[in-house]
């Protein structure tokens, strides 16, 4: 009977063991990598919490192949809009794999978010959530900010995603970090 209870807790996602993940790019609804969150929601390893924005300003930029990157440079950029999900440990493992956290593509770090519908003078404290987000890895984040001429987006939307190339359609003989390095060192701007 204990094993069945453990199984139900995994499948239903025991809230005490869930993490809140703020998504701002291709993991959002109607974007190419949302299929992962759909799979996780079907298995009970993720649930949609709501539409949120960052409490503080952060740069949100595009890199190679119009891949979005949130940069851990608080105070720069905008209050970034995105979606908040509650995710189990199993779901986090799958998301970390997609985001390349062990390969220095992204880093999962804390972020504070508030519901997107709270106005500038609204009750920020009442809706404040401590979550985590996938930021561009610190090894290249500042260079990515400079490459984007220190201009970012409020939201990764249809316009910003125009030209996005799915992972399977990118040149496979280079690593993602090679693509990032080439993007940063190229002379053309991403805007």
Q: For the chain, what is the largest distance between any 2 Cα atoms, rounded to a whole number of angstroms?
A: 63
d(CA 31, CA 156): 10
- In tens digits, what is the pLDDT along the chain, a chain of 191 residues? 333 333 333 444 455 689 999 999 999 999 999 999 999 999 999 999 999 999 999 999 999 999 999 999 999 999 999 999 999 999 999 999 999 999 999 999 999 999 998 765 555 666 899 999 999 999 999 999 999 999 999 999 999 999 999 999 999 999 999 999 999 999 765 44
State whether residue 121 is helix, strand or coil: coil
Which pTM value belongs to this model? 0.87
- Domain locations along the chain: 2-185
d(CA 171, CA 174): 6
Q: Which of 99, 132, 149, 158 is catalytic?
A: 99
4 is catalytic: no
Give, in words, the CATH class of 2-185. alpha beta
């Amino acid at each position: 009977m204990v094993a069945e209870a453990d199984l139900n807790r995994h499948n239903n996602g025991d809230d005490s063991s869930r993490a809140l993940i703020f998504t701002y790019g291709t993991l959002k609804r109607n974007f190419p990598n949302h299929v992962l969150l759909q799979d996780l929601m079907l298995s009970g390893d993720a649930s949609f919490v709501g539409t949120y924005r960052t409490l503080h300003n952060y740069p949100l930029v595009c890199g190679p192949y119009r891949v979005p990157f949130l940069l851990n440079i608080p105070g720069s950029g905008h209050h970034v809009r995105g979606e908040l999900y509650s995710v189990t440990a199993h779901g986090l493992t799958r998301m970390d794999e997609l985001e390349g956290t062990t390969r220095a593509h992204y880093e999962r770090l804390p972020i504070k978010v508030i519901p997107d519908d709270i106005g500038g003078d609204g009750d920020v404290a009442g809706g404040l959530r401590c979550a985590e987000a996938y930021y561009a890895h610190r090894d290249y984040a500042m260079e990515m900010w400079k490459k984007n001429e220190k201009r970012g987006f409020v939201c990764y939307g249809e316009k910003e995603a125009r030209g996005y190339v799915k992972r399977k359609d990118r040149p496979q003989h280079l690593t993602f970090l090679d693509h990032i390095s080439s993007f940063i060192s190229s002379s053309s701007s991403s805007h």
